[in-house]
A and B are shown apart, each in its own frame.
Chain A
Amino acid sequence: MARMRYLKIWVGGAILLLLLVCGLVAPFLAPYDPQEQRLEHRLQPPSRGIQGSDPHWLGTDNLGRDILSRIIYGSRISLLVGATTVVLAGFMGCFLGALAGYFGDLTDEVISKISEIFLAFPFLLLAIALMAFLGQGLLNLILALMLTRWVQYCRVVRGEVLSLKERDFVVAARALGGRDFYILFRHVVPNTLASVTVIATFAMAIVIIAEASLSFLGLGVPPSIPTWGSMLSEGRSYMYRAPWLTIFPGIAIFVTVFGINLLGDGLRDILDPKLRGQR
């Protein structure tokens, strides 16, 4: 049981690490410039080089660009968007959730109502609306996804803070004359980190899929930046003729999300206080 738990973390962590390395050293790993178009070599199937031409391990796309290189570069966007969004949304959600839970009353009322408004919209629909409004771009993409993801943190942290603030160590800290913000961010919030970590890993998987979905719809980053979602979208019309255009980016998304979910699962098994008792 315990070994299984760590296995999940190991496998998930390894996949994520591999991806991270891929993204970091992309220029050295990628055999070609991901943007280099060679129209005369378009739609080549995966090969070690047909009749003396250059090898394209995963084939070339509709504009003659190397798919392997684009997938490697694409991992940058997925990770960057995933990590940044999760961290930023985490900060925003935790901060607001802590305030709402600790101070209660009007603060709680206002923040909870705002988060309910956000919750009322289907997540992806809200992201699509925001992107259509903000326009294409990496920063806009992160902003849109952050605005749709912070609510989950906020709800969980608020709940945890509600129960934590009644605990003896908090009462003690207050008795010693600690100020509200000091107690909140020194004693209360750190105790919510376990749950936040678990949410963050799962959120990252969701955000990566959301980024791919938005890019698929042409609402993500500009066409000049390769991403897995836009590769899927551009390859879609070639499904019959050149299925490798969609299969490989699809596998990339699948493996990444699978890895992160494994990691999140493993972390939850260890960190979740409810599951902790079952050991």
Chain B
Amino acid sequence: MAREKSAMNRRQFLKQSAAFGLGSLMAPAFARQVYAASKDRVAVLHSVSADSLNPYAHSASPTYGIWQHILEPLVEVDYAKKEFYGVLAESWEFQGKKWVFRLKKGIRFHNGAAFTSKDVIFSINRMKTDKASLQRSNFRDVVEMQAPDDHTVIIATKTPSAVFLDRLHNRFMISKAAADKYGDQMDQHAIGTGPYRFVSWQRDGNLVLTRNDDYWGPKPEIKEVVYRKVGEEAGRVAGLLAGQGDVINNVPVDEIPRLESHPRVRVEKVAGLRMYFLAMNCTLKPFDNKLVRQAVNYCIDPQAIIKYIYDGNGYMVDGPVPSHVIGYDPNLKRYPNDPKKARELLAKAGFSNGVEVKLYFSPDRYPKAREICQVIADQLLKGGIKTEPVSQEFVIFWGKDGVNGGKLPFYYVGRPFVDTDTFYDQYFHSGVTKRIGYSNAEFDRLMKEQQSTGDQKKRVALLQEAGRIVMEDAPFVPLYNLAEVYGVARNVIWKARPDEKILVWDMKIRS
């Protein structure tokens, strides 16, 4: 009997294959309809996608942007005001070694369950313990979490952590009720509180979302969203021009004129959060000498790179950090471009015949890295520093024999950040990473102090003081932030955000 059931007879087989065949013939016709921007549907051709349905198995800004349609964080950043505002959190309080969060009331998950403090604790615990989680380190200081009532969460940290809101940025909340119901299958259902519900997902294919009509906040205009992964730049541009997608990200600057002259699309630009810089490892020769590091700073002219290589689509960093971040100091200026001064410093450091160095970079990871490093080599040469650019595969560049093992003396790299602490902590705070081998007791003291200071004004002042030290010691050369460039169908009204997120609920369709 059982065998009879599982077997497929000829008639069934013919019927099903006819259906498949017909379906595949009709698919292109459907595809045309799918990709036309309307209030019913917007298609985003994206350079990345959700690589799995595990909401914590990644830590990349554009991917956060995709997930944020389904799941929501406690807090989000207002980039214009440079401060945090609550999404699922109503308010919060910093009490020394404790953070107290009050949650908004009346919010429900897509499965109907109410959002409570238990869900917050469950989510953070999963981020901390899930083996696939890449967001674990944000909670390394958390020692205890309590839920005194349904709408209050108390999070205790080992030491006072004033920067905890930054760690909570992009940490999304999932449903404990869904976990109880589906167990280890819960990710397949992707249940959150967000303005969109999960419909379907294929690896390296489409992620389809539909509007959550019971959303607690303002209702988005667009009903259905398709995120489609198109890794190749040229593929995304072609897709947009052919009308297969309505929004694309990471448009190469060389394609901007072509998109701008097209009748159906426009270009959307905004200064990105990723700051590019040259890192010098202070434990490796010749960069163990402060004078050499300062000389390198005097050689570099980021304006020339922005003007000629990026066609003006970049913004020079005029101090240690860009002007749009928390902790910026308007009174602290970068080293001026002065190759003569560089030569003097080199002579003082005992390199009167010049010095030879290698500049490591990974092509394709950062736009135009190969060209940039050749221009930088030319600028350094004018100051008496003979530089050979060395190109490496990203896995090698970033691996234990590269940046993260602290083995590269001199390299070109970029780091997105909103709060100066994120950058300083990762690169310059002793013992946090090996990336740059910098250590300064006074700097460390200031970093520790600002990390436990609740008063934002005082914290900024401490960061500015730390900035002066790191500027004098010069373990890096700040360069620029690049424009995030998007191609957008003309009937889509949308303003790009600096954080690489494409949020469809911000979009309107011009009718």
Contacts and interface: CB of A to CB of B under 8 A. Distances in A.
A136 B375 CA distance: 19
B371 A234 contact: yes
Nearest to B308: A39
B370 A136 contact: no
B363 A237 contact: no
Contacts of A37: 374-375, 378
Contact of A218 (B307, B375, B391): B391
Contacts, number: 53
B258 interface: yes
A268 B447 CA distance: 74
Contacts of B389: 222-224
B375 A241 contact: no
A202 interface: no
A63 interface: yes
A27 interface: no
Given A218-B370, A223-B374, A234-B370, A135 B252 contact: no
Contacts of B93: none
Interface string A125-140: 0000000100110000
User: Interface size bucket, A side?
Assistant: 20 to 34
Given A42-B308, A223-B370, A132 B393 contact: yes
Interface string A209-245: 0000000001000111000000000100110110000
Contact of B390 (A39, A132, A136, A241): A136
Interface in A130-152: 132, 135-136
Interface string B382-402: 000000111111001000000
Which of A37, A64, A222 has the most B CB atoms < 10 Å from its CB? Answer: A37
B300 to A, nearest CB: 14
Contacts of B257: 241
A40 B304 CA distance: 9
A97 to B, nearest CB: 34
Contacts of A240: 254-255, 258
A223 B391 contact: yes
A98 to B, nearest CB: 38
Contacts of A136: 390-392
A44 interface: no
Interface in B391-447: 391-393, 396
A62 interface: yes
Given A39-B308, A238-B254, A241-B254, A222 B370 contact: no
A222 B391 contact: yes
B375 A223 contact: no
Nearest to A37: B378
15 contacts: A37-B378, A39-B304, A39-B308, A39-B375, A63-B371, A63-B374, A136-B392, A218-B391, A222-B388, A224-B374, A224-B377, A224-B388, A224-B389, A234-B370, A241-B254
Which 8 pairs across A and B sit closest by C-beta, in order of nearness? A39-B308, A37-B378, A223-B389, A218-B363, A237-B254, A218-B391, A224-B388, A132-B393
Interface of B: 252, 254-255, 257-258, 304, 307-309, 363-364, 368, 370-371, 373-375, 377-378, 388-393, 396
Interface of A: 35, 37, 39-40, 42, 62-64, 132, 135-136, 218, 222-224, 234, 237-238, 240-241
